[in-house]
Amino acid sequence: MNNLAETWVYLSASPLFHLTLTLAAFQIASFVFEKGGRNPLLNPVLGAVALVVALLALTGTDYLTYFEGAQFVHFLLGPATVALAIPLYRQWHHVRASWLAIGASMLTGSLAAIVTAVATLWFAGSSEALMATIAPKSVTAPVAMGIAGELGGLPSLTAVLVIVSGIFGAMFGPLLLNLIGVKDWRARGLAIGTASHGIGTARALQVNETAGAFSGLAMGLNAMATALLLPLLWGLFF
């Protein structure tokens, strides 16, 4: 038992161990996802997060120690986001043919995400700080945190809400779209990207390249639209 504990202390001191842990957790979650028939409820991101959190909690490892290794994955988020331009370029003829519908969808989707989130908390009697925290939940985390900070919200809580909304959008978005009969991959991609940003886009790319391309486009356009519209609306009503 002592040898096992000593081995754990030795391994956990290496940043590469936590990098390996992160990748292994995602591979296990992806395996379960595939074996489960790609059921949206078995989302690999959620599964990987659950596995990593459980192991860190069991071993008493703090987040800063874990992040020393996981930061390599964090660094790759930038190149991965830029790489979304590749499927978008391949689908550019669809984008040019649908630019008016895309613009209308982005404006409607951005406003709907803001209004529904803020209105729900307003009716519940929540504080302005909490409303400012949740308002940008449907855009990618760096943009959302910046907007929340400008409006007087809590950026750290906003980051959590962004991740939660992304996971839930990736899990339940396809089910809802199937339920209401949305078949067009362009429309499905725009809906997923607008509601659940990068996590939803990763899911869309697994299903269909056209959906993934339009989801990546929606993620970027929604971030820009929210960054422009939300401060203006906030200044008018609060």
Cβ(138)–Cβ(197) under 8 Å? yes
8 A C-beta contact, residue 113 and residue 194: yes
Domain residue ranges of the chain, discontinuous segments joined by +: 2-74, 86-237
Residue count of the chain: 238
The whole-number mean pLDDT for each consecutive block of 10 residues of the chain, a chain of 238 residues, reads 52 69 90 85 86 89 80 76 80 84 88 90 89 90 88 89 88 88 90 88 85 90 90 85
- What gap in Å lies between CA 158 and CA 141, rounded to an integer? 8
Output the pLDDT for position 14.
63
Residue of 170, 201, 185 lying closest to 86 (CA atoms) = 201
Identify which of 115, 201, 136 has the alpha carbon closest to the alpha carbon of residue 188. Answer: 201
The closest alpha carbon to 44, from 13, 17, 58, 23, belongs to 23
The reported pLDDT for the residue numbered 1 is: 47
